[in-house]
Structure 1
Amino acid sequence: MLTRAARISPGSVADTYPAILTGYDAYIHNSAFQGISHTKAVRFQYRHNDMDHLEQLIQKAVGQYQTVFIISEGIFSMDGDICNLPRLVEIKHKYGGLLYIDEAHSIGVLGKTGGGVCQHFNIDPTEVDVLMGTLSKSLVSCGGYIAGSKILIDYLKFKSEGFIFSTGISPPNVAASLGALEIMINEDWRLKRLGENAEYILEALKSRSIDTGLSKSTPIIPINVGKENTAIQLSLYLNENAILAAPIIPPAVPENESRVRLFISALHKKEQLDYTTEKIIEGLEKLRAG
């Protein structure tokens, strides 16, 4: 199902099931959290990517709810790490639950042909009840999509306010995303190069003792600096040196967890990545010196 808005809230899905218990990763995108916060579902937060904690919390509620609805992201947008999809699927089956994965940052990035987190782990996509994504990143357009069973999609078309009270996506937007999909499938060297570039700069930064947090060789690499003003000043310094890297500050991240976020491209050259690494180090040194 294609939508004009980039995101269909998981709340739209949660409301389709009675007596639902919703568990969400602590690092899910704010739009997902806002969606479920407006539902009637009882909800709980589990520690980031901590599958044991998720299962412990589900076990405490077994028998009290008809369905458990688990929400996670493919690649986490602020940290660049990947969800533990094999365990999520395992837990979903063990407790007869439903699984919702936000693929906004993983489609076109993970998997041999950019098929996303399911392709990355070689898991049948039908094991995930709802796969949601945006057309505005790897798919170079505007709008979003949601994939699931025919019953679920038909229901959302009649019940999702985000779909009902908006106009359809435009044909040029669809054509642009279809073109991007063709490139992803037919030019898989881009995905290979993307992975190589991400790993190259991540290792370079780590070797220079730069805090890159949880990033795991994905194109999202945070430069964790803590203070909000430090993130803003580092971003400005990089911009002055022809490097576009936005500051991520509260409320997008918790207090004292501000960062500058890098997005790596398949078309970046090693020289550009080396230059970026040096400018990050240079900028941090200048800020520390006052």
Structure 2
Amino acid sequence: MNIGGDLPVRRIGFGAMRLADSDIWHGPADREGALAVLRRAVELGVNFVDTSDAYSLGANEELIAEALHPYADDLVIATKAGVARPSPAEWVPLGRPEYLKQQAELSLRRLRLDRIDLFFLHRVDPQVPLADQIGALEELRKEGKIRHIGLSEVTVGQLEEASRLAPVAAVQNLYNLATREHEAVVDRAEKEGIAFVPFFPIATGDHARAEGPLAEVASEVGATPAQVALAWLLRRSPTMVPIPGTTSVAHLEENVGALAVTLTDAQYDRLSTLT
């Protein structure tokens, strides 16, 4: 997948949010373990890492820089702004242009970058015109501080409106085999050649139970249920780039192994009809 037409990435990236405490407020309890996971991801060929200024109040970005800087030439780092964290339990959309620009500057500093490859509007702020929010990101792009603009948790209508204002390279919405409210956004992103970056990409609940449909297909193809869940996403759309996160090197290796899993038409269809 080429994000924005000029950022080639492998189709399984790494979501760094999991490298934080349970409230996504403090940094990891096992810092050395978190650094090892990030470094192992790059060793495995992962070249797309996703973070946010809201994860551990910016410390997640600093962790990535500590682990991986100086960065490999092909490493794409995405971050986000547009959510304030007044307390561990609060995630408040904040899309004022001056705030978005300030956070971009702070992210550049923490990540030790001159330009951010992919900068997402973390959430659309209903109190601020979308044109103002996208306008701020477009100013940053024209100034050379960000390379591409992304949107997170948006509808087709919001994607269309934003795309009229500036080029949108990626959309990051909640989507997995068991949570598929954004089917229309997946389809629209594919039609426009926009990367669709599903967060929480591995299905849970009934779909993932020990005797469930994922386990059945996993047994048939010689993979794990998590790998099958990711393989289904990869087949769902050619612009899909899942970003499973983990604090475990073993789980990281398992997730990356999904790239080698092939589903038959019948297996894909069987999983696709699940509700």
Superposition TM-score tier, normalisation by shorter sequence: 0.3 to 0.5
If the length of structure 2 is used for normalisation, what is the TM-score? 0.36
If the length of structure 1 is used for normalisation, what is the TM-score? 0.35
Structure with more contact order per residue of length (Cα contacts < 8 Å, sep ≥ 6): 2
